[in-house]
Amino acid sequence: MEIPAPARDRIAEVQRWADPRYAAESPPHVTIIGSSGAGPMPLDTPVERIRELVEPITRDTPPVTVTLERPHRFMQTEIVVLPLDPHGPLRTLHERIRSSGLPFERPRFPFSPHVTLSYYPRMTKEMERRLMAVRVEGPVILGRVRFWKTVEGRGSDLVLELGLVGGADGR
């Protein structure tokens, strides 16, 4: 999910010093599908099929307000993330997309929505100290779902973007 400014700018700043490779490959985002609770989609999944199955979900889902929690290492790795509450509207959106009929590979991890700060580097004590001190203040309103075609080591290409518009017409 797209992270709006000013949170996006703060996260991008941290990613650039902590993990320039990851920062260059992937803009700041909240992961709710892929490595979290539903595995990645096969790379040959047609964009039209994704739109057909997910657009009805985004049409009746209002924007989601979240708080980015304190950083931690992601489940026995050196990956550092800002976790989000896995309950409520994010869980509902995740479950609806996961059960939409789209094909997903086996997930690597249980559902744990997060923002990745550092993915590739080996952690030094100083880097870990700096990353664990990162805070992104205030609520963040997530209003867009983005689907990316990601090939590790070669970056990500945006293939589809849908707005969360539920509630705009009184629903």
Residue extents of the structural domains in the chain: 7-163
Residue 139 is encoded by which pair of tokens?
């609520």
- Nearest residue to 98 (alpha-carbon basis) of 68, 67, 57: 57
- Nearest residue to 129 (alpha-carbon basis) of 15, 18, 8: 18
- Phi first, then psi: give them for residue 158, nearest 5 degrees: -70, 125
As a CATH number, domain 7-163 is: 3.90.1140.10
Q: With both helix axes pointing from N to C terminus, report the angle between 7-18 and 125-132 in degrees, rounded to the nearest 10.
A: 180
pLDDT band at 155 (very low <50, low <70, confident <90, very high): low
DSSP tag of 78: S
pLDDT per position as a tens digit, 5-51: 999 999 999 999 999 988 888 889 998 888 778 888 998 999 999 99
Q: What is the CA radius of gyration of the chain?
A: 16
- Nearest residue to 4 (alpha-carbon basis) of 166, 158, 138: 138
- 78: exposed, middle or buried (C-beta count within 10 Å: 0-12, 13-18, 19+)? middle
Does the pLDDT of residue 170 top 60, yes or no?
no
- Phi first, then psi: give them for residue 61, nearest 5 degrees: -110, 120
* Amino acid present at 81: V
